[in-house]
Structure formats: structure tokens, C-alpha cells
Structure 1
Amino acid sequence: MKRVKASFYSGLIAILPIVITVYIFNWIFQIFLNLLQDSVLTVAIRKIVLQTGLGKEQDLHLYTQILINVLSFVTLILLLIAIGTAMRVFLFKKIGAFLNNLLVKIPLFSQIYSTITQIISLFASDRQKSYQKVVMFEYPRHGIYSIGFMTSDSNHFVEEVTGEEMCNVFLPTSPNPTSGMFIVLKKSEVRVLDLKVDDAIKLIISGGVILPPNNKKEN
């Protein structure tokens, strides 16, 4: 029984990431379809498909429904592109900022909305490019190590006072890496990690649960 249980858990662990990934993609796809299900565009697409004789209103064939869903999804993509293009216009930027400020003021909803918005903006922006290296250093006391991002390998304002080589580091918080502290450290106290910025962000968001693969061991 122990071997059966071990085999069961091994199989579960092996297939679980695939199942969860497929589930998330299916969930997102269903959200997109639900947004368009009763919209004017979807109704128009359904009428066009039905008028071609591919199916009947009372009993739609499977391939007919799939065609409607695909066309609805493509329409949604085009709609998102149109919204993204419109958001670059000054007037629409003002409207977007107004709606964002309105949503942030809603109790309970604002905390979730703000956190998700900040995380998405982190991955979508060029902020990651400003992180030169992933580093670790002893903080908040001796013997405890924290992971941060080096934003500059020098700080001549502080170096003029300390007389030592210093570097700028951003220390993010977990699970929201968009907030944190800016600190200046001695270069001798900072150790550079062989870790990609993207992997370090995932590590911080997960609270240390998602560890990146060790390429050295694999090689």
C-alpha cells in the first residue's frame, strides 16, 4: 500500500501543474466568452452563422457553436486592441485614470484591485529592466538574509561620505514585490545571485514556495 500511495502522489504531482495550467487557461477563456455571450457582437455573429445554414436556432451543431465561440474570441481580441489604442489618446487616459481612482476607493475591493494592478503593471512595464542584478544581503540583522534587486552599482553621494564603494538596492516585500524599501549598502556586503529577475519576482510573490530550477545541478 505504501508503494501504491507513493506512486499515486508521484503521478499527482507530475500531472497537477499541467491540469492547473489548463484549468486557468480554460477559466480565462470562459470569462472572455461570458463577456461576449449576450453582447451585440455575439448575437450578430450567431445570426450570420445561422443564416448561412450551418445550424438551427433550436438545435445548434457542435461545430457551429465552436465557430461562434472562436469568432467571439477573435472579436474580443480586436476589442482589446481597440481599447489599448484608445487608452493612448489623452482624453481616454484621463477617463481611465478617473475610473481607476474610483475603483481604488471601494472598500475591500480596493485592496485586491490595487494589488493585482500593481503586480500586472510590474510585469507589463520596463521596471524589470531597471533591476540590474538579483542580490542577497544580511537584513534585518546578522544571520538573516534578504533578497533584493540592485538598481545601481554605485552611489557617489553616499560614497563621498562613507569613503567606501556603495550600491543602490531595492528590497521588495512579499507577496507584493511592487512595494518595498530603497536602501544603500556596501558592495562588500552584497552578494550577487545567479538568478534571473523574473525568477526572483516569482520567488518573492510566492513567499518562497516557487523555487527556480538549479541549472548547475541539471548540467
Structure 2
Amino acid sequence: MTALRNWLFTGLLVIVPGAITLAVLNWLVGLLDQTLLILPTAWHPDRLLGFHIPGFGVVLTLGILLAVGAMTSNFAGRKLVQWGDRLVSRIPVVRSIYSSVKQVSDTLFSEGGNAFRTAVLVQWPREGVWTVAFITGAPGGEVAALLQDDYVSVYVPTTPNPTGGYFVMLRRSDCIELDMGVDAALRYIVSMGVVVPHEAAASSPA
């Protein structure tokens, strides 16, 4: 019975990661394949070839991103984007949603942005309890004036789903900057501490 139990757990360790990875990839490819809906029906690969080949939407999405990036990287393209931004800013309701999303995306995807570039160790939700978090910036405006100290904006993700979490402002001196990269920190959080980052594993005593 002990051998059977060991074989069962070993099989789970081999099968589960692969199965979950395939499921996520299948969902992602299926989601990106919805991009094909922007093409005329006569141009759909399914209609042209007579059968469905998954992944065409991924190629189309990458092509659109590259094309838009190339077109908007010059002076004329940037002016066109600015004109579009001004147009959207005149539409009620839409402008509030668009401006919020644009500010977040500009912060996250900008090469010069500092959001989610640094993992830190903070005491949360109370003193003596530690967790891994990410610096997203610094307080500004009225908030910064009221705090009157060196504070940073910190995102504390939940486990095992890091897309949910808490936004807090802490003194910079209360945050311990970690050497681990953001990817390693996310794996550490998602795995609930099971997957130890290489940096931490290498520095731990044998």
C-alpha cells in the first residue's frame, strides 16, 4: 500500500503541472483566436482551409501589436494617438474608464516606469507578520502632502491568486528590498511559499 501511495503522488507530481499548463495555454489560445472575428468571414482561416487550426489568432494578435507599435512609434503616429485621446476624452463615462486604464497601462508597460519592478518584504497585516509585496510608485498630490514623510505605494497580493490584493502606503524604511526578481517573487506567492526562489535557496544554510 505504501508503494501504491508513493506511485500515486509521484504520478500527480508529474501529471498535474503539465495538465494545468496545457489547460491555461488552451484557454489563452482560444481567447486570442477571438481576434479572428475582426476579419471578414471570407478571410477566416477555417473557411479558407476547410478546418480549424488553433493559433491563428495568436499570430494575428502579434501582427496587430507589431503593426500598431510600428505605426505609432514615429511623429505622425504619436500625433494620431494624441488626437484619438483628445477625442475619447470628450465622451462622457467612456473618458473616465479610458483614462484610468490608460494611466495604469502607461505605468505598467512604459520602459521608464518603476511599477512592479521591485519586490519588497513588508509586515502585513500586522507587525511581526511578513509577506512579499511590490512597489508601485510613490504617493502624490494631497496624499503626499498629508503624509509628510518618505512613503512608497505598495501592492500586497493575495495567495494563490495575485490579481487580488491590497494597496497600502508604507514608509520606505519599513520595506526591505529583495534581490529576487519580480517573476521569482510571483512564483513564491502563487505557490504559497512552496517554490523557493533560487536566490533565497542559494543563500540558505545547507
TM-score range, shorter chain: 0.5 to 0.7
Deviation at 1:170, TM superposition (A): 3.5
How far residue 77 of structure 1 moved from its aligned partner, in angstroms, is 3.2
Over 3 Å counting, the alpha-carbon distance change for 1:11 and 1:46 in structure 2 is: closer
Corresponding position of 1:181: 168
Correspondences of 1:69-148 after superposition (within 5 Å): 73-83=58-68, 85=71, 89-94=81-86, 102=94, 124-126=109-111, 129=114, 133-139=118-124, 141-148=126-133
CA distance in 2, matches of 1:202, 1:96: 38
- Stretches of structure 1 lacking an aligned partner (at least 5 in a row): 51-59, 106-113, 153-165
Matched, 1:23 2:23: yes
CA deviation after TM superposition for structure 1 residue 2, in Å:
3.4
Cα distance in structure 1, aligned partners of 2:200 and 2:126: 30
Please list every run of 5 or more consecutive structure 2 residues that lacks an aligned counterpart in the other structure: 139-148
Is 1:172 aligned to 2:155, yes or no? Answer: yes
What is the CA–CA distance in structure 1 between the aligned matches of 2:90 and 2:188, rounded to whole Å? Answer: 33
Instruction: Supply the distance in 1 between the matched residues of 2:126 and 2:62 (Cα, whole angstroms).
Output: 50
With normalisation by structure 2, the TM-score equals 0.55
Contact kept in structure 2, 1:32 and 1:76, CA below 8 Å: yes
Scaled by the length of structure 1, the TM-score of the pair is 0.52
Output the amino acid matched with 1:11.
G
CA RMSD after TM alignment: 4.8
Alignment of 1:59-74 (within 5 A): 60=50, 65-66=52-53, 73-74=58-59
* SS of residue matched to 2:157: coil
Cα distance between partner residues in 2 of 1:38 and 1:90: 24
Tell me which structure has the larger Cα radius of gyration: 1
Contact 1:177/1:201, CA 8 A, preserved across alignment: no
